[in-house]
Amino acid sequence: MSVLFENLTLIGLGHEGSSIAWAAKRGGLAGRITGHARTEATRARAQELGFVDRACETAAEAAEGADLVILCVPVGACGDVAAEIAPRLKSGAILSDIGSVKAQLIADVAPHVPDGTDFVPAHPLAGTEHSGPESGFAELFDNRWCILTPLAGSRPEAVDRMQAFWEGLGANVDRMDPAHHDLVLAVTSHVPHAIAYTMVGVADHLRRVTDSEVIKFSAAGFRDFTRIAASDPTMWRDVFLNNRDAVLDILGRFSEELSLLQRAIRMGDGDYLHEYFTHTRAIRRGIIEAGQDTDAPDFGRHAAPAKDPDE
Amino acid sequence: MSVLFENLTLIGLGHEGSSIAWAAKRGGLAGRITGHARTEATRARAQELGFVDRACETAAEAAEGADLVILCVPVGACGDVAAEIAPRLKSGAILSDIGSVKAQLIADVAPHVPDGTDFVPAHPLAGTEHSGPESGFAELFDNRWCILTPLAGSRPEAVDRMQAFWEGLGANVDRMDPAHHDLVLAVTSHVPHAIAYTMVGVADHLRRVTDSEVIKFSAAGFRDFTRIAASDPTMWRDVFLNNRDAVLDILGRFSEELSLLQRAIRMGDGDYLHEYFTHTRAIRRGIIEAGQDTDAPDFGRHAAPAKDPDE
């Protein structure tokens, strides 16, 4: 890989920011990496770990002279940060982000972007339940998707450079209209998270079933929900507040479908249930055939199925 | 291990039946294994694969002379099979099952159990999305839970022998009241499955998002739902029909909680969302601390986090 950006600046040095830095180093994509984090502790830790060459006290200082600035802060914070750094962005710089919601984030950030600077929004579909500068690793984006949602006015060469950058970080890149991105993610990620959070909440409120029983028998299906529901609360608050319309649309559809299933259970309608479950099983098969997963009993997580921890 | 049952009979030779046979062979728990499956093809396959010594055309014939008979058929079929084999059960025999629902199954089966025979219901919390006699393997139950729900009149020595049998198959054994079992499983397994099935159904009906997009970006959370929703339709139909009251109770609570979350999203109540997500994250931590899972980014599925396929 060759250096794509002489000066790369990361605003936010948590899980994603540190992973981008490590992956950029691995790929030799950046000449120099500058970072900013709000707390002195995180800045010090980032320098100790060595994934930034320099850590600045303010976002504005970090953005000065950068060829690429990536906002790695929660969606709800991007507008304010953009306003702060905008006056310091040099002509020809690219501004990007990693937000899980695009339309609202673009509405918050784009007005601040100065002429001569390209804003190229991006959303890498990667991450774990972990946070903090210690949790990043260079391989986080390998073979994951990164979705670019270029604006109507973006220069094609800026978008192409961002695509090359994300490919250099290991990701597969797709491009989408921002509103469509938000709908796709509402279906594949945001509403599944809302549901998982809710189911975990239900289990906890049900005092007839003890916490220890919920925990002990969680492998029976519930554990996948707790896993989804363990993600960063601030990030997810911002996702739901900023992708409200698409999330409420999909949640409404979900409630309607669930009511039908609930009614079939109440009425003892076995044919409806069997047909519904047969249909959803076929969707799972589609995912396996599309190569997104394996049909091994452990879904490819182990060489031998015997040790699969999931039911 | 020593032989616990000279003659073991398995009614149903699918995923669970074949796994019990392999695990019993591994542990040397049974002198001789007899099986019954409805189709000639399955009976022939079971003998070819070698996990039964003999495969009978009727359940009654297979049960004749057995020391332990395990019903490995869907919950809804257990009553009829029990009625068929009851006259052939020898005095001192133990009858058991593997059903995911206990109270209704006991109501269906217990009336047929003759005097001198002990019915000891069991539910191993193991299984994959796969089915058929080829899909079984000896390690399926290793370190999984098996819940026994003994009846008031069960002889303690029969229950103890069933516990020894399941421990011999590799499982950890717990005992529970049948109704409590059904509530615990409604929370940890049945309702999570109902929800996962529903979410997969919603994604499929939403034509603005193409199937290929749903599949392509399923790793963002949705894939865990498709995984859960891929299980056997007949088994799950029977689970919902037979554990109706507990499932409807928990589904009702779930809908109420989801309405609150939905309202908070609509009203833009960020504090509510943040607090809710912080709380559910703590529950996840509880599961990790209880040793049911690991806090590695990939949940212990890989040695290196880099290749974790899950977000």
Reported as a single tens digit per residue, the pLDDT across A249-297 is 999 999 999 999 999 999 999 999 999 999 888 877 776 666 555 444 3
Ranges of beta strands (E only) in B149-242 are 172-175
B76 three-class SS: helix
B26 and chain A in contact, CB less than 8 A:
no
Q: Nearest CB to B248: which of A265, A281, A298?
A: A265
B205 and chain A in contact, CB less than 8 A:
yes
Q: Nearest CB to B208: which of A128, A183, A287?
A: A183
Per the CB < 8 Å rule, is B218 touching A125? Answer: no
The dihedrals phi and psi of A31, each to the nearest 5 degrees, come to -70, -40
Per the CB < 8 Å rule, is A290 touching B234? Answer: no
DSSP state of B31: E
Amino acid identity at B275:
E
| Residue whose pair of structure tokens reads 């529901």 in the numeric block | A229
Q: What is the pLDDT of residue A291?
A: 55
Report the predicted TM-score, pTM, of the whole model to 2 decimal places: 0.83
| Residue whose pair of structure tokens reads 């320099």 in the numeric block | A54
Q: What is the pLDDT of residue A153?
A: 85
Per the CB < 8 Å rule, is A222 touching B188? Answer: yes
Are B26 and B50 within 8 A, CB to CB? no
Q: What is the pLDDT of residue B290?
A: 62
Per the CB < 8 Å rule, is A280 touching B226? Answer: yes
B94 three-class SS: strand
Residues 53-112 of A with CB under 8 A from B: 76
Per the CB < 8 Å rule, is B187 touching A221? Answer: no
Q: What is the pLDDT of residue A200?
A: 86
B280 three-class SS: helix
Question: Residue A243: is its pLDDT beyond 50?
Answer: yes
Domains of chain A: 5-176 (3.40.50.720), 180-307 (1.10.3660.10)
For an interface test with A, give the residue of B134, B189, B261, B287 to mutate (most A CBs within 10 A): B287
Amino acid identity at B24:
A
Instruction: Calculate how close chain A gets to B18, using CA atoms only, in Å.
Output: 14
A151 and chain B in contact, CB less than 8 A:
no
Report how far residue A224's alpha carbon sits from residue A311's, in angstroms, rounded to the nearest whole number: 10
Are A118 and A145 within 8 A, CB to CB? no
Give pLDDT tens digits along chain B (311 positions).
579 999 999 999 999 999 999 999 999 999 999 999 999 999 999 999 999 999 999 999 999 999 999 999 999 999 999 999 999 999 999 999 999 999 999 999 999 999 999 999 999 998 766 789 999 999 999 999 999 999 988 899 999 999 999 999 999 999 999 999 999 999 989 999 999 889 888 887 776 677 778 777 877 678 778 777 778 889 899 999 999 999 999 999 999 999 999 999 999 999 999 999 998 888 777 766 665 554 443 333 332 333 233 32
Per the CB < 8 Å rule, is A258 touching B247? Answer: no
Q: Nearest CB to B197: which of A189, A201, A280?
A: A280
Residues of B in contact with A243 (CB under 8 A): none
Per the CB < 8 Å rule, is A218 touching B287? Answer: yes
The DSSP annotation for A277-304 comes to HHHHHHHHHHHHHTTSS--STTTTSSSS
Report how far residue A208's alpha carbon sits from residue B215's, in angstroms, rounded to the nearest whole number: 38
Per the CB < 8 Å rule, is B258 touching A189? Answer: no
Per the CB < 8 Å rule, is A270 touching B237? Answer: yes
Report how far residue B292's alpha carbon sits from residue B181's, in angstroms, rounded to the nearest whole number: 19
Residues of B in contact with A140 (CB under 8 A): 306
Question: CA B198, B200, B203, B204 torsion: positive or negative?
Answer: negative
Residue A134 CA: distances (Å) to CA of A36, B140, B142: 15, 36, 35
Q: What is the pLDDT of residue B225?
A: 80
Q: What is the dihedral of CA A100, A105, A110, A113, to 10 degrees?
A: -70
Per the CB < 8 Å rule, is A261 touching B203? Answer: no
Among A213, A211, A309, A203, CA closest to B176? A213
Q: What is the pLDDT of residues A48-75, one digit of tens each?
A: 999 999 999 999 999 999 999 999 999 9
Are A91 and A256 within 8 A, CB to CB? no
Q: What is the pLDDT of residue B216?
A: 79
Q: What is the pLDDT of residue A191?
A: 93
Instruction: Calculate how close chain A gets to B114, using CA atoms only, in Å.
Output: 30
Among A309, A216, A231, A219, CA closest to B286? A216
Longest dimension (CA), chain B: 67
B207 and chain A in contact, CB less than 8 A:
no
Task: Please report which residue ranges of A11-124 form alpha helices under DSSP H.
Answer: 15-27, 40-49, 59-63, 78-85, 103-109
- ipTM of predicted assembly, 2 dp: 0.83
Q: Nearest CB to B217: which of A145, A193, A215?
A: A145
Q: What is the pLDDT of residue A203?
A: 82
Task: Please report which residue ranges of B118-243 form alpha helices under DSSP H.
Answer: 156-168, 178-185, 191-205, 211-216, 222-228, 233-242
Residues 112-141 of A with CB under 8 A from B: 125-130, 135, 137-140
Q: What is the pLDDT of residue A240?
A: 96
Q: Nearest CB to A234: which of B200, B237, B274?
A: B274
Q: What is the pLDDT of residue A17?
A: 97
Q: What is the pLDDT of residues A130-179, one digit of tens each?
A: 789 999 999 999 999 999 999 988 899 999 999 999 999 999 999 999 99
A266 and chain B in contact, CB less than 8 A:
yes
Among A93, A92, A41, CA closest to A62? A93
CA–chain centroid gap for A218, Å, is 25
A254 and chain B in contact, CB less than 8 A:
yes
Report how far residue A81's alpha carbon sits from residue A94's, in angstroms, rounded to the nearest whole number: 15
Per the CB < 8 Å rule, is A254 touching B198? Answer: yes
Q: What is the pLDDT of residue B220?
A: 67
pLDDT tier at A126 (50, 70, 90 boundaries)? confident
A263 and chain B in contact, CB less than 8 A:
no
Residues 291-310 of A with CB under 8 A from B: 292-293, 295, 297-302, 304-310
Q: Nearest CB to A184: which of B129, B209, B306?
A: B209
Residue B72 structure tokens: 């490995």
Beta bridge partner(s), residue B90: none
Q: Which residue of A has its CA nearest to B252?
A: A262
Residues of B in contact with A257 (CB under 8 A): 198, 201-202, 205
Q: What is the pLDDT of residue B212?
A: 75
Longest dimension (CA), chain A: 67
Residue B30 structure tokens: 């049974």
| Residue whose pair of structure tokens reads 């091994």 in the numeric block | A296
Q: What is the dihedral of CA B157, B158, B159, B162, to 10 degrees?
A: 120
Beta bridge partner(s), residue A146: A124, A173
Residues of B in contact with A204 (CB under 8 A): 279-280, 283
Q: What is the pLDDT of residue A280?
A: 83
Amino acid identity at B258:
L
Report how far residue B273's alpha carbon sits from residue A190's, in angstroms, rounded to the nearest whole number: 13
Per the CB < 8 Å rule, is A201 touching B276? Answer: yes
Residue B311 structure tokens: 């977000």
Q: Which residues neighbour A261 within 8 Å (Cβ) at sequence distance 6 or greater? A: A273, A276, B194, B197, B198
Cβ-based contacts under 8 A for chains A and B: 363
Q: What is the pLDDT of residue B153?
A: 85
Per the CB < 8 Å rule, is A293 touching B223? Answer: yes
